[in-house]
Structure 1
Amino acid sequence: MAWQFLLELMVLGAFTGFMAGLLGIGGGMLLVPFLTFMFTREQFGAELIVRMAIATSLTTILFTSVSSVRAHHKRGAVRWDIAGWMGLGAVLGTFAGAQVAGLLKSGWLAMFFAFFVGLSALRMLIVAGQKQAVGTAESLPLRPALIGTGSLIGFISSLLGAGGGFLTVPFLSWRGVGLRNAVATSAAMGFPIAAGGLAGYVVAGLHADGLPPGSLGYIYLPALFACAATSVLMAPVGATVAHRIHVQSLKRVFALLLLSLASYMLWKGVHAMGWIQA
């Protein structure tokens, strides 16, 4: 592996970590399209590229979630009574989702990513500058329903390579959990989501053909460690800057970037399916 490629991965990790800290948005929505582009350029197998980008992005959350959860926990913001049960479901959901991802054509994975990220970007544009609606009274479902909800969030997250905050925070806010606690609890959910994804994508890729050197199942270890190392360093910097500038206007710019990346993944998807020619 060329040192230039490793350096690019470290820069990518630093950028996604900074943006995650600045805007409070998981880096997976950025990592997956950029890793897809870089793996394409490195001529990884066509059916492996998107799958490996998603698996690698998801696994980086193992590292990036720890510092975030510690900070939230010190402030007493994490609702462990919620995170524990939803996290249990999330482990099961991400593991199952990884098996499904291992069976799907890469084109469908790319288009699924484009659909969800495009919706998230449009929602960000609409609600930027508005206060997020919160339920008037806490009305959480029973434990089996929390496990089921966590499983669904984990399943979707495993197909996107993201930590699930774009689903967890709105769900908890809708059920009356304060936004501060919802964000903190969502951060705590990141670790079980990533853990289930790690196990799932290793198992799903054990017998895959054409994996490049440095792969553990569908996880590309050089990208995992390079991106995670710099992302962990830059996320606190982004969080510090967020307290000094007006973030809402930046969210609109970020949403437009996400729409561009979703368009790229949509193009990759339809091209992989053979519906258009390069």
Structure 2
Amino acid sequence: MTIQLALVCLAIGLLVGAVGIGGMLLPSALSVGTGIAIHQGMATALLTFVFTGLAGTLAFQRRGSIDWTLARPLTLGVAATAWAGAWTSSLLDAPALSLTLAALIVAAGLYTLHDGAAKRATAAATPAPTRRRWLLLAAAGAATGFVSGLTGVGGPVLSVPLMLALGFPVLASIGVGQVVQVVGALSGTAANLSLGTIDFELAAQAGAFEIAGVVAGAALIHRVDLRLAQRCVAALCIVAGMAFMLRGAALY
């Protein structure tokens, strides 16, 4: 691994730990930095997210920032669909899906910049548990899991903006995103193992730098103003969406 790629992995880990979004950059970075095929880059990136997710979960849990009543239905949805997404990825080139995902993420980012969404997202408490909330989170998890397995981008890139759009606090959304990352990556990697598309040596090298970044990012997000964190998440959603648009357009 080159120094440049190691620094990129460190920066990606910092973003994942701080705002839950950043993993979408890793498959392309691995592919460009090492010359492996993009499908192998996706599978390798997804394996590293198991360990970055564990590091992020521990860092947020130590600070009391994970609401497990939110995490449970979301992760159930993720676990149910991530394997199917990874299996589908081995069969399809999906430019249309990339463009659809891009539009969804950009829309979520723009929505979280809205004043009403900002007030809800930076609130101190989450909405009271209801059956409707449970079903919404499970549905969001199912969508997140499938897209994570399909694209290798990591679950938080979709789960965090979806939770913010549904009105959950920003710190709780990012914390739950770390748990989502573990479940989605495990389920997707199970499919990729059977397909033989993972570069284990590269995953170990990239993962080590990502974990260092995640730990630093988790410490950082607990020290900044939540309004600023919410705006950073929104901005990264828009950037991520634009990146997916470019990737989808390139596939046509």
**TM bucket normalised to smaller:** 0.7 to 0.9
Q: CA deviation at 1:197?
A: 1.0
With 28-37 and 140-149 compared, the bigger mean Cα shift is at 140-149
Structure 1 residues 115 and 225, CA gap change in structure 2 (3 angstroms): farther
Structure 1 residues 107 and 143, CA gap change in structure 2 (3 angstroms): closer
> Which protein is richer in helix relative to its size?
2
Structure 2 unmatched ranges of 5 or more: none
State which of 147, 151, 173 in structure 1 corresponds to 2:142: 151
For 1:71 and 1:249, the matched residues in 2 are separated by 20
For 2:127 and 2:156, the matched residues in 1 are separated by 21
Q: Please list, as runs of the form range in 1=range in 2, the aligned pairs for 1:107-256 lying within 5 A after superposition.
A: 107-108=95-96, 111=99, 114-119=102-107, 122-123=110-111, 130-133=118-121, 137-141=128-132, 147-169=138-160, 179-203=170-194, 206=195, 217-242=196-221
State which of 48, 62, 78 in structure 1 corresponds to 2:50: 62
State which of 1, 4, 18 in structure 1 corresponds to 2:14: 18
Letter in structure 2 aligned against 1:62: V
Aligned length: 249
Q: Encode CA deviations 1:119-167: one digit per residue, 9 max, x unaligned.
A: 455556667x943446754324487776554323211222332333344
Q: Encode CA deviations 1:210-263: one digit per residue, 9 max, x unaligned.
A: xxxxxxx22232332222101111222234444566786698688767766655
**In angstroms, what is the RMSD of aligned CA positions?**
3.9
For 2:241 and 2:160, the matched residues in 1 are separated by 21
Are the aligned partners of 1:113 and 1:265 in contact in 2 as well (CA < 8 Å)?
yes
TM-score normalized by structure 1? 0.68
Structure 1 residues 246 and 164, CA gap change in structure 2 (3 angstroms): same
* Identity between Structure 1 and Structure 2 (%): 25
Residue 210 of structure 1 is matched in structure 2 by: none
For 2:52 and 2:83, the matched residues in 1 are separated by 19
Structure 1 residues 246 and 221, CA gap change in structure 2 (3 angstroms): same
Structure 1 unmatched ranges of 5 or more: 207-216, 274-278
For 1:57 and 1:114, the matched residues in 2 are separated by 19
Larger Cα-atom Rg: 1
